[in-house]
Amino acid sequence: MNRLIAFLFLMIPLITLSGCNHESPTDTVCLLDVSKSITAEGVQTEFREVDGFVDHMHRGDRLVLIPITGNTIGETPGHMLSFTAPTHREPYDHDIIRFQKQAHEHIKAVEDYFTAYPSDSTDILGALDVAEQEFGNDFADASTLRAENRTLYIFSDFLEDDGTYRFATDKTLLSAQGRAELSRQLQRERSLSFINAASVYLVWIESTDQKHLRSERQWAIQAFWSAYLAPCHPRWTTVDVSSAAMM
């Protein structure tokens, strides 16, 4: 029962972009793994989740979707989506209705594209660099946003495969010392200043590659990302594909 309660608590942020207190706009960035290893059901699930976020956006809230591809500089920017809920109210909330309709259409278009043309590799680290830039953009005086108003979701199998690192086979990850040294090295090389002012959720998405990994390596991969993103105290969760399909 305690495990069930804990799981439901972790799932709350996936249902709504904000709590009861909505004094200031929220800034939400989602990284979506669209590599070939993610199953068709997994891709549908992650896009369904972020599509549902649109319906819970309040006026002034921003939602940014960043595909995790193998070519962060060349491919990812052309398929990023950024939505800001209108702040000028129209009669009968026609502005919100129109905004939601257009947002849903754009999200479906990106999903359809990557379903047909999935990425060959997975550069999660590069996608995090893009997220860093997005959180740094001037938005609703971003410097005043509290951590509870800034959220990062990473939907992935977390198998970094960017040409430099290949987490599915890298022996470094299998030792505590190796993971610690790699996480410290990457923290020095890359700027992740936003994580001190944002809540971060790591969402496991089903993949074909992950199914073939031994439990020891799966645990090591999770341990690495927990160490790398430790300053923001990341929270791990999962999405039940069968349940999501019924929503």
What does the domain layout of the chain look like in residue ranges?
A: 25-245
Burial 197-215 (b: 16+ CB within 10 A, else e): bbbbbbbbbbbebbeebee
Q: Is the pTM of this model over 0.75?
A: yes
Distance (Å, whole) CA 2 – CA 8:
10
21-25, 31-35, 80-84 — which is least confidently predicted?
A: 21-25
Mean pLDDT of the 215-221 span? 96
Distance (Å, whole) CA 52 – CA 40:
18
Write out pLDDT tens, residues 59-113: 999 999 999 999 877 777 789 999 999 999 999 889 999 999 999 999 999 999 9
Q: What is the 3-state secondary structure (H, E, C) of 183-222?
A: HHHHHHHCCCHHHHHCEEEEEECCEHHHHCCCHHHHHHHH
Interstrand relation of 81-84 and 62-68 (parallel, antiparallel or unpaired): antiparallel
Superfamily (CATH) of domain 25-245: von Willebrand factor, type A domain (3.40.50.410)
Q: Helix 40-54 and helix 94-116: axis angle, to 10°?
A: 170
